[in-house]
Amino acid sequence: MASSLIARTFLAHRLAPSSLPLARKAPILTSLFTKRTHCTSRGLRFAAQQFRRTFQPMASAVFQTRADYSTQSVSTSEPVVSVDWLHANLKEPDLKVLDASWYMPDEQRNPIQEYQVAHIPGALFFDVDGIADQTTNLPHMLPSEQAFAAAVSSLGIENKNSLVVYDGKGLFSAARVWWMFRVFGHERVWVLDGGLPRWRASGYDVESSASSDAILKASAASEAIEKVYQGQAVGPITFETKFQPHLVWTLDQVKGNIDEKSHQHIDARSKARFDGSVPEPRKGIRSGHVPGSKCIPFAQLLDSSQTLLPPDELKKRFDGAGISLDSPVITSCGTGVTACILALGLHRLGKHDVAVYDGSWTEWGGHPDTPVNKS
Point out the residues that are catalytic. Answer: 333
3-state secondary structure of 225: helix
Residue 99 — φ and ψ, nearest 5°?
-90, 110
Residue 357 — φ and ψ, nearest 5°?
-80, 105
| Closest CA relative to residue 315, chosen from 351, 268, 339 | 351
Q: How many CB atoms lie within 10 A of CB 56?
A: 8
Tell me the sheet residues that pair with 31: none
- Distance between CA atoms of residues 200 and 87, nearest Å: 11
* Inter-residue contact 113 to 230 (CB < 8 Å): no
Alpha carbon separation from 27 to 14, 22, 51, 361 (Å, rounded): 17, 11, 11, 40
| Closest CA relative to residue 82, chosen from 201, 206, 207, 209 | 201
- Distance between CA atoms of residues 240 and 332, nearest Å: 27
Tell me the sheet residues that pair with 298: none
Helix axes 145-154 and 212-229, enclosed angle (nearest 10): 160
